[in-house]
Amino acid sequence: MSRNMRWAIVLCLALIILSIVIACAPAPTPAPTAAPPTAAPKPVARGKLEMFSWWTAGGEADGLNAMYDIYKKTYPTVDIVNATVAGGAGTNAKAVLATRLSGGDPPDSFQLHAGLEVESYAPDKYLQPLDALYTSEGLDKAFPKDLLTLLKYQDHYWGMPVNIHRANVLWYNKKIFTDNNLQPPKTWDEFYKVADTLKAKNIVPLVIGTKEGWEAGHTFETVLIASLGADGYRGLWTGKTQWTDPKVTQALETYKKVMTYVNTDHSALTWDAAAQYLVDGKGAMHIMGDWTDGWFTSKKFTGYGWAPAPGTTGVFDALSDSFAATKGAKNQDNLMNWLKLAGSKAGQEAFNPKKGSICARTDCDPKLFNEYLQSAMKDWSSNAIVPSVAHGAAAVEKWATVYKDILNSFATKGDVAAAQKSLQQVCVDNKMCK
């Protein structure tokens, strides 16, 4: 017994020591505030630029490297370090990034979706506002006005958008449409007619993959835009439109009906596995962002056409990747040079044709881009721009996550009333609705 007692005492002591250690642990000290590596900004920039980007493969990595090349030509003595963690659409990297930011050891710049996703990085604590840079580089004139509104959070700009993707695109297999004498549907009513014809011929009318959980929310936001229009849809995220609106009910009903036309194995597929149906000529349509264009190209598939998703002609459902500047960045001058490049015409023209997206600026040379992207550029400068929720632009991350969960449930259960009640509740939880 005495032996056990002694061990118990040892254990207790260890625990006491531990609790003292925890109690006395120093609070994470902020990094020494911007001690510039060189005393004064000399003409020759030196040192490092620490980047944090999960574009490590494919066209996006090529695009990023093209921008790095320009940077290295201008500042040959600066060493660009990419400190990322590869894989998983940035989920792994984000976890590491969160630790580094809160631990006071931030990389100089990292990648995030433009728009309200920035809220989850606590910008007033961890990021530098870029308003001065926007003015000095004339960006408030180079970007469309709708984009500028979308970029502002708490009245400041927090990121430098490098590209624009469009979410509301209907991709279709041209051969199937000409063989069956069909036109891509402009409204959801037209869609049902087209889909019924295709269904009778044993072709999957609309393909979708919902394995990763965001795809259902992505498709539904295009239905919301069709039902509410650009202004009504924007209002959903600012509290001007209530989620109890009958038009939201209508959107849910439409979506429910649309889901009866999709491939039955959608929960087993990712979006690209679903797009394979189009390549194989087994599926007719796919509503997905315009990264699909690059994916088709990589598959050497050319028989595809595109149109705005049904009911969304004249609306550009946008998402954008941007680079942020962290507070306490160790290489401030190099960082600012990088952001200037990322926002510049030269930088965006180098990056976007490779990434398969269009410039956030409206003055890029269309000749550098392929046919689809040229049409997107035209729409970008003329359409009403609305933010995508499935990709971080429209709502804070917490809201977007629950939105996706609700839609993932709804895609199978189809309980309209419950889904609408939940959507309203999450709006209330985020203090936008009453």
Partner 1 sequence: MRRVSSDRIIALAMLTPSVIAIAIFVYGFIGFTGFSSFTNWNSLVPDFSTVGWRNYERLFSAIPTDRFLLDLRNTVSFTILFLIACIVLGFLLAVLLDQRVKGEGIFRSIFLFPMAISFIVTGVVWRWLLNPGTVQTGSSGVNLLFEKIGLGFLRWGWFTDPTIWHIKPDTGLGQFLVGIGLDGIASPYFGVPVAIFSLVIAATWQMSGYTMAMFLAGLRGIPEELREAARVDGANEIQIYRHVIIPLLQPITLSAVIVLGHISLKIFDLVVSMTGPGPAFATDVPAFFMWDTTFRGNNFAQGAAIATILLVSVAVLIVPYLINTMRTEAEL
Strands 169-173, 152-153: parallel, antiparallel or unpaired by DSSP? unpaired
Q: Which residues bind partner 1 (CB under 8 A)?
A: 10-11, 14-15, 17-18, 21-22, 91, 94-95, 98, 101-102, 119-122, 125-126, 202-204, 210-213, 263-268, 277, 280, 282-283, 397-398, 401-402, 405-406, 408-409, 411-413, 421-423, 425-426, 429
**Helices 58-74 & 345-355 angle (0-180, nearest 10):** 160
Name the minimum Å distance from CB 141 to partner 1.
33
Name the minimum Å distance from CB 13 to partner 1.
9
Name the residue nearer to partner 1 (CB basis): 97 or 359.
97
What would the DSSP string read from start to end of 141-152? Answer: HHS-HHHHHHHE
Which three-class secondary structure state does DSSP give residue 341? helix
- Residue 319 φ/ψ, nearest 5 degrees: -140, 155
- Residue 404 φ/ψ, nearest 5 degrees: -65, -40
Name the residue nearer to partner 1 (CB basis): 44 or 95.
95
Which three-class secondary structure state does DSSP give residue 9? helix
Name the residue nearer to partner 1 (CB basis): 67 or 402.
402
Name the residue nearer to partner 1 (CB basis): 297 or 401.
401
Name the minimum Å distance from CB 122 to partner 1.
4
Strands 169-173, 283-288: parallel, antiparallel or unpaired by DSSP? antiparallel
The token duo for 425 is 């509740």
CB 218 within 8 A of CB 289: yes
Name the minimum Å distance from CB 309 to partner 1.
22
Per-residue burial over 398-415, b if 16 or more Cβ lie within 10 Å, else e, is ebbbbbbebbbebbeebe
Name the residue nearer to partner 1 (CB basis): 242 or 401.
401
Name the minimum Å distance from CB 240 to partner 1.
20
The token duo for 108 is 């100089």
Name the minimum Å distance from CB 421 to partner 1.
6
Name the residue nearer to partner 1 (CB basis): 134 or 399.
399
Name the minimum Å distance from CB 304 to partner 1.
18
The token duo for 247 is 């038009």
The token duo for 303 is 């028989």
**Pick from 373, 392, 201: which is nearest to 282 by CA?**
201
Name the residue nearer to partner 1 (CB basis): 303 or 414.
414
CA distance 272 to 291: 10
Cα angle, residue 180 at apex, residues 283 and 295 outer, rounded to 5°: 35
Alpha-helix runs per DSSP H in 201-329: 215-236, 246-258, 271-279, 291-298
Name the minimum Å distance from CB 69 to partner 1.
33
Name the minimum Å distance from CB 247 to partner 1.
20
CA distance 131 to 68: 24
- The backbone region for 282, taken as left when phi is positive above 0, alpha when psi lies in -120 to 50, beta otherwise, is alpha
Name the residue nearer to partner 1 (CB basis): 20 or 132.
20
Name the residue nearer to partner 1 (CB basis): 367 or 431.
431
Name the minimum Å distance from CB 329 to partner 1.
17
CA distance 380 to 360: 9
The greatest distance separating any two alpha carbons of the chain, rounded to the nearest whole angstrom, comes to: 91
Name the residue nearer to partner 1 (CB basis): 282 or 299.
282
